[in-house]
């Protein structure tokens, strides 16, 4: 069971996209019943594979939050911050549907 039911782990998915990044990642979040999806545009030269920086959009129940280009370590910290907020606030306060 997932966090949205008040039990079990929080599910975070990742989506590497080349176009329609937010739309595709939003669809994946819904299909996979993930609490968050972290999406990045792998066609960018300044983010993603083979560079030390990344720019991601974190998609949750309440919409998408696009982060600027950051070090990969900083991106990881930002993702963990969002996970911590969901874990602390619980599913009802985080705006999740109950399944």
Residues 38-89 have pLDDT tens digits of 999 888 877 667 788 889 999 999 899 999 999 999 999 999 999 999 888 7
Which of residues 29 and 90 earns the better pLDDT score?
29
- Is pTM beyond 0.85? Reply is no
Residue 22 near residue 64 (C-beta atoms within 8 A): yes
Backbone φ and ψ of 39, nearest 5°: -115, 145
Residue 54 near residue 78 (C-beta atoms within 8 A): no
Residues contacting residue 40 through CB under 8 Å, at least 6 positions apart: 15, 16, 17, 21, 47, 48, 54, 55, 56, 57
The band of 20, judged by pLDDT with boundaries at 50, 70 and 90, is: very high
């Amino acid at each position: 069971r997932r966090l949205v039911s008040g039990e079990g782990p929080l599910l975070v998915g990742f989506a590497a996209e080349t176009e329609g990044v937010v739309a595709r990642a939003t669809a994946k979040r819904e299909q996979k019943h993930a609490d968050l999806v972290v999406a990045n545009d792998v066609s960018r030269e300044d983010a993603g594979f083979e560079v030390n920086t990344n720019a991601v959009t974190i998609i949750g129940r309440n919409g998408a939050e696009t982060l600027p280009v950051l070090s990969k370590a900083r991106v990881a910290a930002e993702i963990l911050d969002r996970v911590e907020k969901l874990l602390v606030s619980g599913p009802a306060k985080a705006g999740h549907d109950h399944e």
